[in-house]
C-alpha cells in the first residue's frame, strides 16, 4: 500500500510549486524569528507596522532569486549537494540585493524608514538557509524510511567506483520507482577513499566488501554495479570475474567509456553484463574521415545484406553518406526488416544524401546479377554473402561450392567487367588450413579474387579474414542463450575447443578500415585478442544469467561436429604478416596462383558440380586447395586415398 502510494504520487505530492510555497513560508517564519531574537525576545518592541514592509521587500527579493536559480525544481526525495548549492546561491544573492537596495534608498533619500537592520537580515539569512536545507533532507529521510519499510523485494547494491559516475549511478538507482535499491556501500581501488563516506555511503576496498557483504551471505538479492569511467579491459574483466565466482549478479554502466556531460544517467544504461563486455581488448578506433572521403557520394553494394555481418556493414556504411546503398540478399524478410530499421534509425542520413535500394537476388544467378550491376554501376562492393555453417556444409558441399565459390566468382567477374573501384570480400579464419568444406570453399574464393587482382588492375580486390562473431546468426552465444532459457543443458562439442571472438560492430569497423586502406591483393588479418575456451564461455554465460553450474543447469559435451577442429588459426604455417598503420590490422603474406591456373581449375570444378556427386566434388576441391585436410568428417577417407 505504502509502496504503491509512493510510486504513484511521490512526484505530485511534493510538487515544485508546493516546494516554492514552503520556501516562501520559511522566509516569513525566519524573518519573524530574526526580529524577535534581535529584540531579545520582546515581541512588543518590534514595530510590526513598519517591519511588514521590510518583510515584503525581502520576500520579493527571495522569490525572484528562487525563480532565477530554480532552487525549488529538484526532486526533494533525492536532495543532493547540488540542490543545497542552489539554495545557498539563491538566499545569499537575495540577502545581498536586499541589503544593497535598503542601503541605496536610505542613502539617496536620507530616510531611515527604508533601512532594514543588517543584524536582522544576517540572523534571517542563517535561519532560512538552515530551515530550507533541513526541510528537504527531512522529506528525503522520511521517504527513504517509508520505502525501506514498505513490503516487497529489496535489492542490496554495491557500486564499484566512488567517483562521479558512481555517485550518478547511486542517485539513478535510488530514483527507480519500480524496484527498491539499497546502496550498502561503494567499492574503490583508491586506498585514500577506503572507509570514508561519499554522500553518506561508506567506501570499502574490494576484499573487505567481499568479506563483509558476500562471503557468508545466505540470500541472493545482491548486485554489484561497475561504474568506473576509465578502466582498462583487463582490469574490468578481472573485477567481473571476481564477483561472478561469488555467484553475485554483476551489472555495468553502459557509458563506462563515455564522457558524462549532462550529469544524467538513465536506468536503462545500468544493464546486466554481456559476454562481449568480457573481451579483453581496448575499444577499436577507426579513421572515419578516411572512410568518409572514400565512400561519400559513391554507390556501394552489400551482398548478404540480411545476414549478421552484412546488415552491420550496411548500418555503418549509412553514416558515411554514400549516394546509393544497395542491399542485396535472397532473404526477403531479412531485407524488409533491415530496410525499415535503416530508414527509422538513420533518417538524418537518408533522403537527399543517401538512397537505400533493396534487391532480392541470388548471387549465383548470373543474369539477375548482371542486370543489377548494369543498372546501378556500383563503385564499391562489400561481399558478405556466403554459407558459413560448418556441419551443414559438410552435408551439402554442392551448395557450399555453388554459393561460396561460384557465387563469389560471378560477383567478382562482374566487378572487373563494370569497373568497380574496390571489392572487399569477407572471409573467415576457417579458410586457414581448412578442415571442412566451408573453410575450403572460402579459401578457394580468396585465391580466385587474389588472382583477379593480379591480372586486372582496374578493380582492387581486398580480402578480410577474422574469426567468430559474437551474437551473429547461428553462433554459439545465441545458442547458449536459448539453451539457458530452456533450462539447459548447454551443449559444448569438446572441453578443450577454443575460438577467437569479436563483436559484430568491431568486425565491421575493421572491414571498413581495411577496405579503405587496401591497395589491392591483400588478405587483411584482424587482431582477435586472446582465444576463448568455449567451455569457459558457457560457464560465464550461466553465471551472468544468475544460475549455478551443476545445480541449476548443466553443461553437456557432445563431441566435435563434422569438419570441426579444436582451435582455429588466422594464419597458416606458410603465411607471415606485415604491419599496417592500424594496430589491429595486419596483412597476411600468402602465396598467390596465376589467374589462368585458378580459372582452369574452376572450369573442372564446375563440370564436377553438375554431376552432384559429393565425394567427387570434395575430392576435386582438395586437389585445388591442397592444404584442405578433413577432420572428423566422412571425407577423411579421401585424404587417406591421396596418401596411398
584 is catalytic: no
Identify the three-state secondary structure at position 350. Answer: strand
Note whether 316 and 508 are within 8 A (CB).
yes
pLDDT of residue 574: 62
- Asked whether residue 616 carries a pLDDT value surpassing 70, the answer given is yes
- Asked whether residue 111 carries a pLDDT value surpassing 60, the answer given is yes
Q: What backbone phi and psi angles, to 5 degrees, belong to 586?
A: -125, 160
pLDDT of residue 259: 44
Note whether 428 and 442 are within 8 A (CB).
yes
Helical ranges in 70-117 per DSSP H: 81-109
DSSP string, 450-463: HHHHHH--SSEEEE
Indicate the pLDDT class of residue 608, thresholds 50, 70 and 90. very high
Note whether 322 and 299 are within 8 A (CB).
yes
pLDDT of residue 573: 58
pLDDT of residue 436: 94
pLDDT of residue 3: 47
Q: Give me the mean pLDDT over the 476-482 stretch.
A: 84
pLDDT of residue 369: 97
Indicate the pLDDT class of residue 172, thresholds 50, 70 and 90. confident
Q: Give me the mean pLDDT over the 249-272 stretch.
A: 67
Q: What is the mean pLDDT of the chain?
A: 84
Dump pLDDT digits (tens) for 189-214: 988 888 888 888 899 999 999 988 88
Select, from the ranges 61-70, 176-185, 296-305, the one with the highest average predicted confidence (pLDDT): 296-305
Note whether 472 and 532 are within 8 A (CB).
no
Dump pLDDT digits (tens) for 72-90: 776 666 666 778 888 899 9
pLDDT of residue 370: 97
Dump pLDDT digits (tens) for 327-364: 999 999 999 999 999 988 888 777 667 899 999 999 99
pLDDT of residue 642: 53
Q: Give me the mean pLDDT over the 174-197 stretch.
A: 85
pLDDT of residue 101: 85
Indicate the pLDDT class of residue 5, thresholds 50, 70 and 90. very low
pLDDT of residue 249: 83
pTM of the model: 0.71
Buried b (16+ CB within 10 A) or exposed e, 610-639: eeeebeebbbbbbebbebbbbbbbebeebe
pLDDT of residue 527: 79
Q: Which domains does the chain have, with CATH numbers?
A: 2-146 (no CATH), 153-273 (3.40.50.720), 289-624 (3.40.50.720)
Q: What percentage of residues in the chain have a pLDDT greater than 70?
A: 88
Dump pLDDT digits (tens) for 399-415: 999 999 999 999 999 99
DSSP string, 600-644: HHHHHHHHHHTTT-HHHHHHHHHHHSTT----SSTTHHHHHHHH-
pLDDT of residue 152: 57
Dump pLDDT digits (tens) for 447-470: 999 999 999 888 999 999 887 777
How far apart are alpha carbons 19 and 275 in whole angstroms? 46
Dump pLDDT digits (tens) for 485-518: 888 899 998 888 888 777 888 888 889 988 888 8
pLDDT of residue 153: 66
Q: Give me the mean pLDDT over the 562-584 stretch.
A: 75
Dump pLDDT digits (tens) for 54-64: 888 888 988 99
pLDDT of residue 408: 97
Q: What percentage of residues in the chain have a pLDDT greater than 90?
A: 33
Q: Which residues contact 167 (CB under 8 A, 6 or more apart)?
A: 198, 199
pLDDT of residue 219: 66
User: One of 409, 430, 540, 565 is an active-site residue; which one?
Assistant: 430
pLDDT of residue 251: 87
Helical ranges in 184-248 per DSSP H: 206-209, 233-244
Provide the grid cell at 583: 594496430
Q: Which is more confidently placed, 17 or 76? A: 17
How far apart are alpha carbons 61 and 65 in whole angstroms? 6
Indicate the pLDDT class of residue 578, thresholds 50, 70 and 90. confident
Residue 234: is the preceding peptide bond cis (ω within 30°)? Answer: no
- Give me the sign of the Cα torsion angle 58, 64, 65, 71: positive
How far apart are alpha carbons 633 and 643 in whole angstroms? 17
Q: What backbone phi and psi angles, to 5 degrees, belong to 270?
A: -100, 100
Q: Which is more confidently placed, 9 or 621? A: 621
Dump pLDDT digits (tens) for 236-260: 888 888 888 887 888 888 754 444 4
Amino acid at each position: 500500500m505504502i509502496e504503491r502510494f509512493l510510486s504513484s504520487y511521490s512526484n505530485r505530492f511534493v510538487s515544485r510549486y508546493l516546494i516554492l510555497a514552503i520556501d516562501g513560508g520559511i522566509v516569513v517564519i525566519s524573518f519573524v524569528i530574526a526580529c524577535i531574537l534581535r529584540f531579545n525576545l520582546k515581541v512588543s518592541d518590534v514595530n510590526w507596522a513598519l517591519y511588514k514592509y521590510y518583510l515584503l521587500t525581502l520576500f520579493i527579493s527571495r522569490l525572484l532569486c528562487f525563480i532565477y536559480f530554480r532552487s525549488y525544481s529538484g526532486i526533494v526525495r533525492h536532495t543532493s549537494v547540488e540542490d543545497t548549492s542552489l539554495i545557498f546561491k539563491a538566499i545569499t544573492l537575495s540577502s545581498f540585493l536586499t541589503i544593497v537596495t535598503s542601503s541605496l534608498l536610505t542613502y539617496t533619500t536620507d530616510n531611515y524608514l527604508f533601512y532594514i537592520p543588517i543584524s536582522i537580515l544576517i540572523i534571517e539569512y542563517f535561519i532560512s538557509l538552515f530551515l530550507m536545507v533541513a526541510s528537504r533532507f527531512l522529506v528525503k529521510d522520511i521517504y527513504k524510511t517509508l520505502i525501506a519499510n514498505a513490503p516487497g523485494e529489496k535489492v542490496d547494491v554495491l557500486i564499484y567506483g566512488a567517483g562521479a559516475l558512481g555517485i550518478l549511478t547511486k542517485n539513478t538507482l535510488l530514483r527507480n520507482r519500480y524496484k527498491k535499491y539499497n546502496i550498502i556501500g561503494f567499492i574503490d581501488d583508491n586506498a585514500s577513499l577506503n572507509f570514508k563516506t561519499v554522500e553518506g555511503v561508506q567506501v570499502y576496498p574490494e576484499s573487505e566488501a567481499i568479506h563483509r557483504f558476500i562471503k557468508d551471505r545466505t540470500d541472493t538479492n545482491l548486485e554489484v554495479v561497475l561504474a568506473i569511467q576509465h578502466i582498462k579491459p583487463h582490469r574490468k574483466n578481472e573485477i567481473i570475474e571476481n564477483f561472478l565466482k561469488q555467484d553475485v549478479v554483476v551489472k555495468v554502466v553502459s557509458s563506462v567509456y563515455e564522457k558524462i556531460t549532462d550529469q544524467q544517467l538513465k536506468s536503462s544504461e545500468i544493464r546486466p553484463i554481456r559476454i562481449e563486455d568480457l573481451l579483453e581488448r581496448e575499444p577499436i578506433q577507426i579513421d572515419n574521415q578516411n572512410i568518409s572521403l572514400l565512400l561519400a557520394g559513391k554507390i556501394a553494394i552489400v551482398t548478404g545484406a540480411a545476414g549478421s555481418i552484412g546488415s552491420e556493414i550496411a548500418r555503418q556504411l549509412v553514416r558515411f553518406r554514400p549516394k546509393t546503398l544497395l542491399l542485396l540478399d535472397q532473404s526477403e524478410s531479412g531485407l524488409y526488416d533491415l530496410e525499415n530499421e535503416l530508414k527509422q534509425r538513420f533518417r538524418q542520413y537518408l533522403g537527399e544524401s543517401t538512397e537505400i535500394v533493396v534487391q532480392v537476388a541470388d548471387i549465383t544467378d548470373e543474369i539477375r546479377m548482371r542486370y543489377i550491376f548494369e543498372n546501378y554501376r556500383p563503385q564499391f562492393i562489400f561481399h558478405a554473402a556466403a554459407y558459413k555453417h560448418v556441419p551443414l556444409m559438410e552435408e551439402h558441399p554442392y551448395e557450399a561450392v555453388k554459393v561460396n565459390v561460384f557465387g563469389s566468382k560471378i560477383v567478382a567477374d562482374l566487378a572487373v567487367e563494370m569497373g568497380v573501384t574496390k571489392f572487399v570480400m569477407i572471409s573467415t579464419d576457417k579458410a586457414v588450413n581448412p578442415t571442412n568444406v566451408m573453410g575450403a570453399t572460402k579459401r578457394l574464393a580468396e585465391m580466385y579474387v587474389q588472382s583477379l587482382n593480379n591480372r586486372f588492375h582496374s578493380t582492387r580486390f581486398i580480402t578480410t579474414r577474422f574469426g567468430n562473431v559474437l551474437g551473429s546468426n547461428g553462433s554459439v552465444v545465441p545458442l547458449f542463450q536459448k539453451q539457458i532459457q530452456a533450462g539447459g543443458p548447454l551443449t559444448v562439442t569438446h572441453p578443450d575447443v577454443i575460438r577467437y571472438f569479436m563483436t559484430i560492430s568491431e568486425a565491421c569497423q575493421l572491414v571498413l578500415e581495411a577496405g579503405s586502406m587496401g591497395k589491392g591483393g591483400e588478405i587483411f588479418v584482424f587482431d582477435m585478442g586472446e582465444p576463448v575456451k568455449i567451455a569457459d564461455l558457457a560457464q560465464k554465460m550461466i553465471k551472468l544469467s544468475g544460475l549455478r553450474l551443476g545445480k541449476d543447469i548443466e553443461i553437456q559435451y557432445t563431441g566435435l561436429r563434422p569438419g570441426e577442429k579444436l582451435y582455429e588459426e588466422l594464419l597458416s604455417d606458410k603465411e607471415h604478416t606485415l604491419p599496417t598503420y592500424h594496430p589491429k590490422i595486419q596483412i597476411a603474406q600468402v602465396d598467390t596462383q596465376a589467374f589462368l591456373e585458378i580459372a582452369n581449375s574452376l572450369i573442372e570444378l564446375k563440370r564436377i558440380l553438375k554431376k552432384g556427386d559429393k565425394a567427387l566434388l570434395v575430392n576435386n576441391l582438395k586437389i585445388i586447395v591442397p592444404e584442405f585436410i578433413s577432420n572428423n568428417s566422412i571425407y577423411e577417407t579421401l585424404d587417406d586415398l591421396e596418401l596411398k
